[in-house]
Structure 1
Amino acid sequence: MSRSVDDDGGARAVDDGGAASAAAGDGAHLLNHDGGAGPLGDGGTRPVNHDGGACPLGDGGAASAAAGGAAHPFANDGGARSAAGDGARPRIAVSFVRGAPSHPAWFSQRLADLARRAADGLRAAGAEPVVLDSASGHVFSALDYDGVVVLGGGDVDPARYGGDTDEPTVHCVDTGADEAEIDLVNGAIENGRPVLGICRGLQLINVAFAGSLFEDLGADSIHKIHQPQPPMASHPVQIAPDSLLGAALGTGTVTVQSGHHQAVRRLGDRLRVVATAADGVVEAVELARPDEGWLLAVQWHPEEPGSPDGQLHALLEPFVEACRQAPVDVAG
């Protein structure tokens, strides 16, 4: 089966020189590296090719041009953090791919728009978002943040889960981004930081927990519209009771916006399914044991403009509250 590149893949830099608010939104920080991914191919190593660092955009700052000057150079924005505490604004890493050359321009722009909306939503929920470029080659530590969000992106390298590396529909792979985000997820869970995954984020979390994916759901899938540069597909999902997701959105059926061609095949260790679509596709996962930490991942895009009013905020509010309680250093 062949198809066009039309999922929720990663994103390259929106502005050629680097620091635009198009990915981060006003008031966010953007880890903005000029270097990009090297050859993506079939799981080969991507060279680390960045001059990267943090680009604080300030309370009203957009891009360097809008701010009237150059973006802040490398400043290691992932430095020491203090406890957010009750009522404070937790500092949350928002990870997606900005720099992979495998993404068409329209695709990159769409992902930048979604990242902006996610950052705006976090800010409205009381957090300080820090947008990371997972394809930059920079090593990010979950210990520098109060929580981690992994957004939509290209396909996870099938070699990471024993999948079919020759599947022709697999596209927009960036092995460096996979590694960076898996490290963020593992570091967050190991150190008591909440994790929220969206679309690719769910798939990557499942792989991080030793699960696998269906490389392609087929031409009849309800989870995407099968046309070039498609809009999101709208469909219902069923939410399980006694879950973080159910507490946020209510149990029963909700309408969601999707744009993916892959899904969970083998469920990752220590995870449980808390929502499914009518065709049986896994739509949300959480940790099977809540005492192991706060983790929620959804297969759809609550940050998509066509999503039901309030859905994004309903998901972000409990996540941000959990991030406020994140320990400064559980290792002592």
Structure 2
Amino acid sequence: MASNVSDRPPVIGLTTYLEPATFGIWETEAAVLHREYLDAVRAAGGNPVLLPPIGDWRAATVGWLDGLVLSGGADIEPRRYGQRPHPTTGTPQPQRDAAEFALLDAALALDLPVLAVCRGMQVLNVALGGTLHQHTPEVIGTTDHQPQVATFGKTALSLVPGSVLAGVLGESVSTLCHHHQSLDRVADGLRVVGTAEDGTVEAVELAGPGFCVGLQSHPEQNTDDVRVFAALVRAARDRRETR
């Protein structure tokens, strides 16, 4: 007997990297993502599905998703927000940029709940017309947000009372971060709901009744606290049950 759709875990799509990888006897390009994202979605009650940065991503082809996570990763091509590359800006990945901007556009058209993490929050801002600081240490004078290669920094995050994220995490929370870029001009329609002590924009929410939040930090790295992912999964389930 087929199960009721309301009993099925919400399907949460997660964007991935195309990177050289080695596994078994193979050395090849692969679509990869930190496992912590998958574990966080699963622990929150969702069914994680990897979305490669290739394919025809538009509303007509992603309607089977219940929610979307825009994951962290490489710097966005600066020409997308009208700037020339800074010396510290990473090598462009136009294929990934194109795929994730298309996925976000489709998700917004379908009113899919969206959680945008680190690079994902920057994608959200740029896609809606905002810009980025290409090298945040030049703005704040420290490397606290990216202390070393492959090392997460700790950021004390203040959240605006009444915001979605404050309702999930409280008005202050310690987060793990790893980024050298950050939001500069915030896009119309986005509301800044979280900042670090140095003023760096750390959280945004899209105006409207749907769930669309961005975090500059990495909630997936705290495996003991999946509250943000649980909020995404709840929003995905609520959307599915009301359609």
Q: TM-score range by the shorter chain?
A: 0.7 to 0.9
State how many pairs are aligned.
226
How far 1:181 sits from its partner (Å)? 0.6
Provide Cα deviations, 1:192-229, integer angstroms capped at 9, x if missing partner: 2100011001001111111110011126232111x4x3
Judged with a 3 Å threshold, the aligned counterparts in structure 2 of structure 1 residues 317 and 328 are, in CA distance, closer, same or farther, namely: closer
> Normalising by the residue count of structure 1, what TM-score does the alignment of the two structures yield?
0.63
Judged with a 3 Å threshold, the aligned counterparts in structure 2 of structure 1 residues 100 and 209 are, in CA distance, closer, same or farther, namely: farther
Q: Which residue of 2 aligns with 1:294?
A: 211
How far 1:118 sits from its partner (Å)? 1.0
How far 1:278 sits from its partner (Å)? 1.0
User: Percent identity, aligned pairs only?
Assistant: 35
Unmatched 5+ stretches in structure 2: 22-30
Provide Cα deviations, 1:13-66, integer angstroms capped at 9, x if missing partner: xxxxxxxxxxxxxxxxxxxxxxxxxxxxxxxxxxxxxxxxxxxxxxxxxxxxxx
1:90 aligns with 2:10: yes
| Amino acid in the other structure paired with 2:17 | V
Structure 2 Cα separation of the partners of residues 241 and 302 of structure 1: 20
1:233 aligns with 2:153: yes
Judged with a 3 Å threshold, the aligned counterparts in structure 2 of structure 1 residues 138 and 100 are, in CA distance, closer, same or farther, namely: farther
- Helix, strand or coil at the partner of 2:18: coil
> Normalising by the residue count of structure 2, what TM-score does the alignment of the two structures yield?
0.85
Aligned runs of 1:97-112 on 2, under 5 Å?
A: 97-99=17-19
| Amino acid in the other structure paired with 2:158 | Q
Q: Which residue of 2 aligns with 1:323?
A: 236
Q: Which residue of 2 aligns with 1:138?
A: 55
Structure 2 Cα separation of the partners of residues 248 and 298 of structure 1: 13
Aligned runs of 1:209-288 on 2, under 5 Å?
A: 209-218=128-137, 220-225=142-147, 227=148, 229-251=149-171, 253-288=172-207
Provide Cα deviations, 1:272-317, integer angstroms capped at 9, x if missing partner: 011001111110110123x2x210110001112xx3832xx11011
Structure 1 stretches of 4+ with a deviation exceeding 3 A read 327-330
Larger-gyration structure (1/2): 1
Structure 2 Cα separation of the partners of residues 267 and 218 of structure 1: 19
Structure 1 Cα separation of the partners of residues 78 and 218 of structure 2: 22
| Amino acid in the other structure paired with 1:193 | L
Aligned runs of 1:180-195 on 2, under 5 Å?
A: 180-195=99-114
| Contact 1:88 1:324 survives alignment (8 Å) | no
Judged with a 3 Å threshold, the aligned counterparts in structure 2 of structure 1 residues 245 and 138 are, in CA distance, closer, same or farther, namely: same
Judged with a 3 Å threshold, the aligned counterparts in structure 2 of structure 1 residues 84 and 211 are, in CA distance, closer, same or farther, namely: farther
| Contact 1:100 1:174 survives alignment (8 Å) | no
Structure 1 Cα separation of the partners of residues 5 and 213 of structure 2: 20
Unmatched 5+ stretches in structure 1: 1-82, 102-110
> If each structure's strand is expressed as a fraction of its own residues, which one has the higher value?
2
- Helix, strand or coil at the partner of 1:98: strand
> If each structure's helix is expressed as a fraction of its own residues, which one has the higher value?
2
- Helix, strand or coil at the partner of 1:303: helix
How far 1:172 sits from its partner (Å)? 3.7
Structure 2 Cα separation of the partners of residues 277 and 285 of structure 1: 12
How far 1:170 sits from its partner (Å)? 0.7
